[in-house]
Amino acid sequence: MKLLSYFRGEAFQRGVHPPSCKLTASTRIRRLPFASKVTVPLSQHIGKTPRPIVQVGQEVVRGEPIARSDEWLSVPHHAPVTGVVEFIGLRPGVRGPWVESIVIRAHPGASQEDLWGRPRDLSDATGGDILQAIWDAGMVGLGGAAFPTHAKLTVPKQAHVHTLVVNGCECEPYLTCDHRVMVEQADDLITGIRYAMRATGAVRAIVGIEDNKPDAAVAIRAAIVRCGRIPEGEIYAELVPTKYPQGSEKMLVMALFGVEIPAGDLPVSLGMVVNNVGTLAALGKLLPAGRGLTERIVTVTGPGVAKPGDYIVPLGTPLRFVLDYAGAPGVATRQVILGGPMMGQAAASLDVPITKGMSGVLVMQGDALDWRGNQKTYPCIKCAECVESCPMGLNPAQLGMLAAKREYDLMGSDYHLGECFECGCCSYVCPSNIPLVQQFRIAKQILREKALSK
Amino acid sequence: MSIEISSAPHIKGTRSVEQIMRHVVWSLLPVCAFFIFQYGLSALLSLMVVTVSCLLTERFFVRQGGQSGDIGDFSAIITGLLLALSLPPGFPLWMGAVAGIVAIALGKALFGGIGFNVFNPALIGRAFVQAAFPQAIATYTPSFMPGRFAEYIPSSLTLPLMQPVSVVEWLKDRQFDALAGATPLAKWKFEGVMANADELLTSLSGHMAVGPSPVLILLCGAYLAFRRFLDWRIPAAILGSAGLTAWILYGFDPLRFPNPFFMLFSGGLILGAVYMATDMATSPVTPKGMWVYGALIGLLTVIIRYYSGLPEGVMYAILIANAAAPLIEKITQPTPFGKGVLSNLGRQKKGASYPLHSGYISREDAGAVTPKKRFMFNKPKHPPKE
């Protein structure tokens, strides 16, 4: 009810309220055992693909860099396990096509401790030093987009950053990894926030948390007090009304500050940098220890999982191994979604590895899929539900009609298709069951190819 | 063993076309029940015949193929009920059946079925019978007649292709004069007599020949708007603009023009505003467009009622606005996020936790101060305990 949103005074009024289904919101983070073989794809993030710097047959210890690149928009990879490099070449990728990967066979007798990292004191490091350390740690955004963190925290010369916005919304249904990180690793998070503030020159950090996770706000406020060295009012934990897709940085800035980031600009144009809580908590843990990113927290959940939970998973662990451990045997599995149900990607095979940007593994069961498949599709009845829910203020009904007629150029030029960030609200609400965002994805891809061929 | 892939989003809201249409039908049932209570057997038969004729026509065209949707989506029932509610209770049944056939065939099937129609099908049907049978459609009978559940209004049972018998004799037998059968609007238009407020709202006190109860329609509409099965902006715009126009004219010459209250609650304005104009397929999708569309309907209604030879103007006002809807939609496209005036710092939405202002400066600038937090408008549902 958008009228109620207005009367409640919500700054971010559009969006949808999918059922939250956070099955694992109160289970502690657990550790997954090491698989006998891990596969590290070389391209796990936006930007240039790094080159392998190990050979087949070489022994690696956990945390040792195995691939790096001198390109700015690229991060190194570190060995997730101690073992022997078995193979470098094509392996099944998440999107379907096979991708260049490094396969490491774990040493069965190794303790799998990270012996590579050297603890260091960063208390008087400059912003540049911290950025370099973040780069060396191979950090990318752990919220899902996997954008290299050092690039995100680097402030352009002509810009000033005053506020670090820490994104703890986790608006996707089912996912709870950020929630558990805020509850259990609040101290690491505060440390990470302070590093990021030093790197960007921000004077304050605001952690935006959706109000279905009040315990996270309590934990962070307690950690701020515990930390002690923080001047009054430097880090806040702020609750915002729960709504999808608030985890998008533009929407979170809207909810917190009531301003729209101009189209085509980054939050830095308003003096803000937005980062995910999982990323900053990992920074707070890795930087003082001098280690690289070798594991991440993944929510393994869904109706088809016997032991759902948030697991610390070594990067490169095969999906099949994760599912077996969590009690979702491959034979009974019909669909596995990597990420949340609104924006996540359906895995093309169970042999793909866990990568840096994977926040969740969601196993869907038969009846939910059958229900979705049996929905009847009608023509657009112009109920305007999608127009009301589009967070970017587009007209998905009109765009959908144009997409059906393949008027892609018109969609891009007159109806702002480029602003769509594929949150899926339009498809979610559509009573006629029209695959709106799916069509927009195709249209955007075609427009991109057209622009490239020119 | 294989796994399925699909494109996100992988979950779907529970709302469907059938659900929307079903709720509209349910919300119409109390209105229909009161209409039957007012006019007795004839109203019941009229509702049934018109709805069944709509359903049969729909079934015929769905069977023919080339149609979107089918008979199970409840949309033909809505058309039938609305059409019957907009006709006089004593309307000859065969003419009602013709209206139903025309509504579905010309108003909907011709365009390709549900979602493709340009005009509200019920109003197409009504416009047709208005032109074809002007005498019959202007013949109302008083409400709450004694014995209305025991006998039919004689005009109802006219044989097919025959002109209806006059009800004047029949009314005279029951001690009603010929004037009793005129609607409040016709009375005002042709005799200059204005009905009282309570007669307009309920007609329980007298035998005023009014249509379905406006109060009940507003209540049922409020339920639909609350559940978001219709958009509240369209009725609000129609009633607002009709009321405002009528009020200006009334202020200009109170003797010549009726007061705004009479304008709003007489005739079919409420039914049109709540149920006809809000037909999703024929109204604009953009929020701004809905206001323009509603305002146009309100304005046209008042103009047609005051200056034309017809007492009732809602139907033509809605049909004209239906035709204008695509154009309205085109010029009222929503402003995308970050492209409007709000995107600069000068104008902010209210309700933000930390409104941006000049106190927000970076560490390099001297005297950085942390701004005070504003009163929290967007109060979270569960405040955390510290």
Q: Does B372 reach chain A within 8 Å, measured CB to CB? A: no
The larger pLDDT score, comparing residue B348 to residue B314, is at: B314
Please spell the DSSP secondary structure of B33-60, one letter per residue: HHHHHHHTHHHHHHHHHHHHHHHHHHHH
Among chain B residues, the shortest Cα distance to A1 is held by B228
Is residue A378 over pLDDT 50?
A: yes
Q: Does A5 reach chain B within 8 Å, measured CB to CB? A: no
Distance CA A32, CA B267 (A): 72
For B311-321, how does the pLDDT look when each residue is reduced to its tens digit (9 = 90+)?
788 999 999 99
Cross-chain CB nearest to A201 (options B1, B112, B362): B362
Q: Of chain B residues 224-263, which have a CB less than 8 A from chain A? A: 226, 228, 231-232
ipTM (interface pTM): 0.89
- The end-to-end CA distance of chain A, in Å, is 45
Cross-chain CB nearest to A258 (options B115, B349, B363): B349
- Best mutation target among A155, A383, A402 (most B Cβ atoms within 10 Å) is A383
Beta-strand relationship, A83-92 and A59-60: antiparallel
Q: Where are the domains of chain B?
A: 17-139+141-181, 183-332
The larger pLDDT score, comparing residue B16 to residue B66, is at: B16
- Partners of residue B349 in chain A, C-beta under 8 Å: 11, 254, 258-259
Beta-strand relationship, A30-31 and A309-314: parallel
**A207-225 mean pLDDT:** 92
Q: What are phi and psi of B114, to 5 degrees?
A: -55, 135
Residue B157 burial class via C-beta count within 10 angstroms: exposed 0-12, middle 13-18, buried 19 and up: middle
**Tell me, what's the pLDDT at A387?**
94
- A36-45, B230-239, B297-306, B347-356: range with lowest mean pLDDT: B347-356
Fold of A30-117+292-368: Ubiquitin-like (UB roll) (3.10.20)
**A227-255 mean pLDDT:** 84
Q: How far is B78 from chain A (nearest CA, A)?
A: 14
Q: Where are the domains of chain A?
A: 30-117+292-368, 123-289, 385-453
Chain-chain contact of B333 with A424 (C-beta, under 8 angstroms): no
Could you tell me which of A228, A285, A264 has the C-alpha nearest to residue A392? A264
Residue for token pair 């830095």: A268
Q: What is the DSSP letter of B166?
A: P
Distance CA A372, CA A369 (A): 5
For B98-117, how does the pLDDT look when each residue is reduced to its tens digit (9 = 90+)?
999 999 999 999 998 888 99
- A131-135, A267-271, A439-443, B55-59: range with lowest mean pLDDT: A267-271
Chain-chain contact of A162 with B11 (C-beta, under 8 angstroms): no
SS3 B269: helix
Among chain A residues, the shortest Cα distance to B5 is held by A346
**Tell me, what's the pLDDT at A349?**
85
Cross-chain CB nearest to B3 (options A160, A347, A415): A347
**A9-34 mean pLDDT:** 88
Is residue B182 over pLDDT 80?
A: no
SS3 A163: strand
Q: Of chain A residues 31-90, which have a CB less than 8 A from chain B? A: none
The larger pLDDT score, comparing residue A237 to residue A159, is at: A237
pLDDT-derived band at A57 (thresholds 50, 70, 90) equals very high
A371, B108 contact by CB (below 8 A): no
**Tell me, what's the pLDDT at A364?**
84
Q: How far is A382 from chain B (nearest CA, A)?
A: 5
Fold of A123-289: Rossmann fold (3.40.50)
Please report, for residues A45, A329, A363, the alpha-carbon distance to residue A322 in angstroms, rounded to integers and kept in the order given.
21, 10, 11
- A435-449, B113-127, B188-202, B352-366: range with lowest mean pLDDT: B352-366
Q: Which amino acid is at A156?
A: P
Q: Where are the beta strands (DSSP E) in A42-151?
A: 51-52, 59-60, 65-68, 77-78, 83-92, 98-106
Among chain B residues, the shortest Cα distance to A162 is held by B362
Is residue B383 over pLDDT 80?
A: no
Q: Does A4 reach chain B within 8 Å, measured CB to CB? A: no
Distance CA B293, CA A445 (A): 36
Among chain B residues, the shortest Cα distance to A263 is held by B338
- Best mutation target among B223, B329, B332, B378 (most A Cβ atoms within 10 Å) is B378
Is residue B155 over pLDDT 70?
A: yes
Chain-chain contact of A11 with B352 (C-beta, under 8 angstroms): yes
A415, B333 contact by CB (below 8 A): yes
Q: Does B19 reach chain A within 8 Å, measured CB to CB? A: yes
Is residue A86 over pLDDT 90?
A: yes
Q: Does A337 reach chain B within 8 Å, measured CB to CB? A: yes
Neighbours of B122 (CB within 10 A): 31
Among chain A residues, the shortest Cα distance to B10 is held by A341
Is residue A4 over pLDDT 90?
A: no
Cis peptide before A245 (omega within 30 of 0): yes
- Partners of residue B386 in chain A, C-beta under 8 Å: 218, 221
Q: Does B383 reach chain A within 8 Å, measured CB to CB? A: yes
Cross-chain CB nearest to B285 (options A262, A362, A384): A384
Q: How far is B314 from chain A (nearest CA, A)?
A: 22
Chain-chain contact of A261 with B12 (C-beta, under 8 angstroms): no
Distance CA B210, CA B203 (A): 7
**Tell me, what's the pLDDT at B369?**
42
Chain-chain contact of A211 with B231 (C-beta, under 8 angstroms): no
